[in-house]
Amino acid sequence: MSYLSPLLNRSGAVAAGGLDAGVAAHYGDPNREQRLLAGYLGKPPSAVVDLSHRGVVTVSGPDRLSWLNTLSSQELKNLSPRVSTELLILTVQGRIEYDARVVDDGETTWLIVETAEAAPLAQWLTSMKFMLRVEITDVSPDWAVVGSVAEVPEWSDRTVWQDPWPHISAGGYSYAAVPETEHPGLERSWFEYLIPAAELVEAVGQRPLAGAWAADALRVAAWRPRRGAETDEKTIPHELDLIRTAVHLNKGCYKGQETVARVHNLGRPPRRLVFLQLDGSLHTLPAVGSEVLVDERVVGTVTSSAQHYEMGPIALALIKRSVDPEAVLIVNDDGEQYPANQEIIVATDAGQVLGRQTGFLRAPR
């Protein structure tokens, strides 16, 4: 049976679909909810987001961090309790299989993933444990996730993951075409609290709720890629600027490392993520999967679209690296066409870092 959040019983709740099926898209006023969530209608922000459909996998045992370190793109051996990070599980070809939000409480490592990823991730991890002292459990039915742009003081004793985006993690690297001080992700902080599912309604209480649409609009505006939205079966981390938060370039061997290193040092990612400011005169949003055109030639695909409370209709798209950064793009949604100005997220000269003296790309200071 598909999951349905108990918070869908809140007045005005309208169920979401797609990646957010099982929770509310909104509670009757998406624009106001987004303003509440962002803190526009008062400081500190008061609204929280029901993300209880998210998958949660735990890894316990004394070998958990060193073991996860060998399997993933992230350096985890010395991860301190309550410090948040992000890891990728890649294929041998370096393509993204899993993207997990990671926090350790000193005894257990918590992996927060998209709904459909929890069961297969737990199964795959179990198949890789061999004789090591680790225990893997899919605890999704027992734990709920609640999101917020600010820390919730009443939940200070709960396990929380804080999104590292857009800061460059140790061993990471920026592929962005803007100075780090101008990255729009700096305007969005993000926290995901782990709450026992049985306590969800009581924990949220009468706190204002914002729907998944509100959270996704702030994510898109921050250029933050999402597994299952910005990814497909061919995606490599470089195309989404995920080297900055999810990959440690100087750690030991892991599956897919050869591709990560080769593209970073010697090659170019074949595609690049872009932010689109859409023409709002149509008063609609293009569907995810809509074609992106240049002079009637298909050059990419819309991966996420949202109505932002300040910017209006916006989107993320994955396009060919060779597309002229000055080109005006057209988004084609089954014949409905939206002119779109592109803002470069991943630089057109991304990759080929070996021997590079100047350029947009930068490692952490």
Question: Tokens 């999810």, residue?
Answer: 246
Residue 77's CB is within 10 A of a number of other CB atoms, namely: 12
Q: In what order do the strands lie in the sheet with 135-138?
A: 84-90, 96-104, 108-113, 55-60, 135-138
Identity of the amino acid at 350: A
List of long-range contacts for 199-202, beta carbons under 8 Å, 24+ apart: 200/5, 200/6, 200/7, 200/50, 200/52, 200/144, 200/146, 201/6, 201/7
Q: Which residues contact 42 (CB under 8 A, 6 or more apart)?
A: 36
Determine whether the annotation assigns residue 258 to a binding site.
no
Tokens of 173: 């690297």
Backbone angles phi, psi at 97, to 5 degrees: -100, -45
Binding-site residues sit at: 192
Binding-site residues for substrate sit at: 192
